[in-house]
Amino acid sequence: MSSVLLLSILMLSLLGIVLAIILYLVAQKFKVFEDPRIDQVEAILPGANCGGCGFPGCRGFADAFVKTDDITRMFCPVGGNDTMAAAAAIMGKTVEAKETQVAVIRCAGSPENRKRIVQYDGATSCKIATSLYGGDTGCQFGCLGLGDCVAVCKFDAIYIDPTTLLPVVDEEKCTSCGACVKACPKFIIELRKKGPKGKRIFVSCINKDKGGIARKACQVACIGCGKCVKTCPHDAITMENNLAYIDFNKCKLCRKCVEECPTGAIREANFPPRKPKIEAEVQTEKTE
Amino acid sequence: MNMLKTFSKGGVHPSENKISANRSIEILPLPQKVSIPVSQHIGAPATILVAKGDKVKVGQIIAQSAGFVSANIHSSVSGTVESIDAVLDSSGYKRQTITITVEGDEWESSIDRTTDLKKDIQLTSQDIIKRINEAGIVGLGGATFPSHVKLSVPSGKKADVLIINGVECEPYLTSDHRLMLEKGHELMVGIQILMKALNVSKALIGIENNKPDAINYLKIIAGEYKGIEVHALKVKYPQGGEKQLIKALVNREVPSGGLPIDIGTVVHNVGTAFAVYEAVQKNKPLFERVVTVTGKILPRTANYMVRIGTSVSDLIAAAGGLPEDTGKVVNGGPMMGKALVNTDVPVTKGTSGIIVFQSKESKRKTESVCIRCAKCVSICPMGLEPYLLNKLGQQMIFDRMEQENVLDCMECGSCSFECPAHLPLLDYIRLGKAEVSKIIRSRKN
């Protein structure tokens, strides 16, 4: 009886050893060498797998980062400069710091500014609405407010404001991965430099209609009057197709265009409240 | 009772509501101005030939076909070209449009304005196709595919039967019905012309059985013409779909991704056949068509002969004006038509009807969740699985949608109509179709 037991234990152990040796040999034969630095770089990356860098996930980025020689054009927008510096250090290289960017909504057509003329009751998707019609207001360029950008954001950084019905970007959470830019069928969202202390100036409109038509559709539309182009001392503003565009590389944040814009289409973000303007208002009140 | 012919897979039966069926075709008075878009057909937009300030006559060519799949556009009125500009079309986007102020009603001298029937066809097959191309005729059933393309049979293929679509399966619409009743003989000659162009000896007219007067009338007069048969078809939506009609009449199936010519058939609408008659026998290009103006809340419904470019608001005004309780104005039938963003848009070659709905009728019902009842699967006339395509569309899994043959969908809307959970099935399927076509195009490049 005991010999049967002994024999089976012996057989199984032997079998195990033989198979282990075979497995070891096969593993040696088909071994794929992988640069250990890929793992190191991947460990540094945020692990969001958002695709903002243009690669399929963080592993894809790490793989490309280690394998290519020229890393100057690669950037992880989520991790930012610190992550990039650390990743470059692993490779024994250095990278130039890039200015952080943030998603900017270039439409200010809240119901107050832009009257709804039709009612949409189809599927809740901007992409579908765009394929059906121009939009529920007179402006065929503006935000539809159905939230395709909100659905794609992996960082919970964008939401639809219930009063303005427009998306709002949470600057603290926005990683500038660009998913919302790609998701918007109206091309309203743009990645712009965050600016010093988050100060930025941009044209919050993409309406390419002639002035009268644009103004009729929306009170805060860019009407293409060109006043800002003339005012700008730094040549940062260009006018194309009845639409002004501020180049964020040239803009020196002087805010002269903001004052000049007759419709208020040029927006400023994170500036302290304006002192002289308040005084001016007080003065006019006094004179009245 | 003998069984009526129909297609085998799926189908629904929405309430017919053919309110305007016994209202004969009236000629709408000339509008003050017309706006004629240069893209009224499938294919390349036509190239504009006139400039601002030019005087034009009725029937004068104002924009030329820009390629094989494209169509000429003719002026529908006489007057002065007021502007050439991008104007809002029925979907709220801007399209190049020629606006003409109407002055008098002076026709091109080459057009035969008499109403007598001209039966003998003098032109050869080639010349007929050329004339149809020149006259800018497109499929008047609503798809607006240039007719000469369908008639130019590619080498190696041969048509053996012409199918004429008089089904008009969309609820409410009655323009084809009236045309069959009032222009029966012209229609028959038109069909003979098409038969000659295609070199076929047999033509079948399919008509849904809810138009017994049209069926009887055409059956009687068909005896005078060689090779034309009239068939009554079961009342089932979408009987008027090209593939469904072929299946019902000749029991052949168009292969997935194929065309009717692959199985020896060519399908034309009755409206197109009438336009062909006018173009070939009377030398009259396509610049007017029958449009049904209807709706339960309209004071009076009508079938108008309308010049292309007349604004929809003019049509509604002629029918008694827009009632206060209007919820939706739909261009086309209630199943496949599109709601208008504003009513100042022009009637185009593809406008078969304008339907005014009360706000109560037009509201979409609140969505709930899919209960997997598979109603959409059983009613889909193309044998697709709409519930699955809907889910895939929502999650943007477009490659899988391609495998599920989303491109076979003809957007008849039966699935959304039948869904007990009121899901916007067709909306997501359409999205999928657009994205899949994009993927296929990028693969080719």
Please list the residues that pair with B133 across neighbouring strands: none
For residue A234, CA distances in Å to A242, A260, A263 come to: 20, 15, 22
Instruction: Tell me what pLDDT residue B169 has.
Output: 92
Eight-class DSSP state of A130? H
The tokens describing B100, both together, are 């003409």
Using alpha carbons only, give the angle B173, B177, B182 rounded to the nearest 5 degrees.
135
Provide, as residue numbers in chain A, all residues whose Cβ is less than 8 Å from the Cβ of B341: 117-118, 133-134
Give the residue from A30, A50, A3 showing the smallest Cα distance to A175.
Answer: A50
Containing A200, the helix (H) or strand (E) segment is strand A200-203
Contact flag A135-B92 (C-beta cutoff 8 Å): yes
Using alpha carbons only, give the angle A112, A116, A121 rounded to the nearest 5 degrees.
130
Contact flag A121-B434 (C-beta cutoff 8 Å): no
The region that residue A65 occupies, defined by phi over 0 for left and psi between -120 and 50 for alpha, beta otherwise, is alpha
Q: How far is residue A107's CA from residue A104's CA, in Å, rounded to a whole number?
A: 9
Q: Report the first-to-last Cα separation within chain A, whole angstroms.
A: 116
pTM across the whole model: 0.83
Q: How confident is the model at residue B1 (pLDDT cuts 50, 70, 90)?
A: very low
Of the candidates B91, B428, B431, which has its C-beta nearest A133's C-beta? Answer: B91
Provide, as residue numbers in chain B, all residues whose Cβ is less than 8 Å from the Cβ of A118: 92, 339, 341-342
Please list the residues that pair with A266 across neighbouring strands: A203
Of the candidates B88, B342, B424, which has its C-beta nearest A122's C-beta? Answer: B424
pLDDT tens digit string along B153-165?
988 899 999 999 9
φ/ψ (deg, to 5) at B338: -115, 140
Average pLDDT over chain A, rounded to an integer: 88
Does the pLDDT at position A280 exceed 50?
no
CA nearest to B390 within chain A: A123
Q: How confident is the model at residue B2 (pLDDT cuts 50, 70, 90)?
A: low
Q: How confident is the model at residue B210 (pLDDT cuts 50, 70, 90)?
A: very high
pLDDT tens digit string along A53-95?
888 889 999 999 888 888 888 888 888 888 999 988 888 888 8
Using alpha carbons only, give the angle A54, A60, A61 rounded to the nearest 5 degrees.
60
- How crowded is residue A155: how many other Cβ atoms within 10 Å of its Cβ? 18
Please list the residues that pair with B138 across neighbouring strands: B146
pLDDT tens digit string along A209-248?
888 888 888 999 999 999 999 999 999 999 998 999 999 8
- Using an 8 Å CB-CB cutoff, list residues of chain A that contact chain B: 117-118, 121-123, 125, 127-128, 131-135, 140
Instruction: Tell me what pLDDT residue A276 has.
Output: 58
Q: Which of A115, A118, A133 to mutate to test the interface with B (most CBs of B within 10 A)?
A: A133
Average pLDDT over residues A103-122: 88
CA nearest to B423 within chain A: A123
Instruction: Tell me what pLDDT residue B136 has.
Output: 94
pLDDT: which is higher, A72 or A257: A257
Instruction: Tell me what pLDDT residue B194 has.
Output: 95
Percentage of residues in chain B with pLDDT exceeding 70? 100
Does the pLDDT at position B135 exceed 70?
yes
Give the residue from A288, A230, A216 showing the smallest Cα distance to A259.
Answer: A230
Provide, as residue numbers in chain B, all residues whose Cβ is less than 8 Å from the Cβ of A132: 91, 338
Strands B161-165 and B265-269: parallel
With both helix axes pointing from N to C terminus, report the angle between A36-44 and A57-67 in degrees, rounded to the nearest 10.
130
Q: How far is residue A104's CA from residue A176's CA, in Å, rounded to a whole number?
A: 10
For residue A151, CA distances in Å to A126, A145, B369 come to: 11, 12, 19
User: What dihedral angle (degrees, nearest 10) is formed by the CA atoms of B181, B186, B190, B193?
Assistant: 150
Containing A5, the helix (H) or strand (E) segment is helix A2-29
A205 contact partners, CB below 8 Å, separation of at least 6:
A106, A107, A108, A141, A214, A218, A220, A221, A222, A243, A265
Q: Which of A114, A116, A121, A216 to mutate to test the interface with B (most CBs of B within 10 A)?
A: A121
Q: How far is residue B354's CA from residue B356's CA, in Å, rounded to a whole number?
A: 7
Contact flag B427-A128 (C-beta cutoff 8 Å): yes
Q: Report the first-to-last Cα separation within chain B, whole angstroms.
A: 56
Give the residue from B359, B373, B237, B411 showing the smallest Cα distance to A121.
Answer: B359
Q: Would an 8 Å CB–CB cutoff place B341 in contact with chain A?
A: yes
Give the residue from A104, A106, A105 showing the smallest Cα distance to A205.
Answer: A106
Average pLDDT over residues A92-108: 88
Residue A280's SS3 state is helix
Contact flag B341-A131 (C-beta cutoff 8 Å): no
A158 and A177 Cβ atoms separated by less than 8 Å: no
A130 and A237 Cβ atoms separated by less than 8 Å: no
Average pLDDT over residues B63-68: 91
Contact flag A122-B91 (C-beta cutoff 8 Å): no
A116 and A137 Cβ atoms separated by less than 8 Å: yes
Q: Would an 8 Å CB–CB cutoff place B92 in contact with chain A?
A: yes
Helix/strand/coil (H/E/C) assignment for every residue in chain B = CCCCECCCCCCECCCCCCHHHHCCEEECCCCCEEEEECCCCCCCCCEECCCCCCEECECCEEEECCCCCCCCEECCCCEEEEEEEEEECCCCCEEEEEEEEECCCCECCCCCCCCCCCCCCCCCHHHHHHHHHHCCCECCCCCCCEHHHHHCCCCCCCCCEEEEECCCCCCCCCHHHHHHHHCHHHHHHHHHHHHHHHCCCCEEEEEECCCHHHHHHHHHHHCCCCCEEEEEECCCECCCCHHHHHHHHHCCCCCCCCCHHHHCEEEEEHHHHHHHHHHHHHCCCCCEEEEEEECCCCCCCEEEEEECCCEHHHHHHHCCCCCCCEEEEEECCCCCCEECCCCCCECCCCCCEEEEEEHHHHCCCCCCCCCCCCHHHHHCCCCCCHHHHHHHHHCCCHHHHHHCCHHHCCCCCHHHHHCCCCCCHHHHHHHHHHHHHHHHHHHHC
Q: How confident is the model at residue A288 (pLDDT cuts 50, 70, 90)?
A: very low
Residue A78's SS3 state is coil
CA A204 to chain B, closest CA, distance in angstroms equals 21
C-alpha of B181 from chain center? 18
Eight-class DSSP state of A80? H
Percentage of residues in chain B with pLDDT exceeding 90? 78
Scanning the structure block, which residue is given the tokens 């006339």?
A: B381
Q: How far is residue B343's CA from residue B346's CA, in Å, rounded to a whole number?
A: 8
CA A55 to chain B, closest CA, distance in angstroms equals 19
Contact flag A122-B363 (C-beta cutoff 8 Å): no
Does the pLDDT at position B286 exceed 70?
yes
Contact flag A125-B434 (C-beta cutoff 8 Å): no
Instruction: ipTM value, please give it.
Output: 0.81
Average pLDDT over chain B, rounded to an integer: 92
Q: How confident is the model at residue B3 (pLDDT cuts 50, 70, 90)?
A: confident
Size of interface A-B (CB pairs under 8 A): 44
Does the pLDDT at position B106 exceed 60?
yes
Q: How far is residue B55's CA from residue B36's CA, in Å, rounded to a whole number?
A: 15
The tokens describing B146, both together, are 């240039």
Q: How far is residue B56's CA from residue B59's CA, in Å, rounded to a whole number?
A: 9
Instruction: Tell me what pLDDT residue A277 has.
Output: 52
Provide, as residue numbers in chain A, all residues whose Cβ is less than 8 Å from the Cβ of B93: 133-134, 140
Q: Would an 8 Å CB–CB cutoff place B364 in contact with chain A?
A: yes
C-alpha of B256 from chain center? 22
- How crowded is residue B2: how many other Cβ atoms within 10 Å of its Cβ? 5
Average pLDDT over residues B62-76: 93
CA A173 to chain B, closest CA, distance in angstroms equals 24
Does the pLDDT at position A283 exceed 70?
no
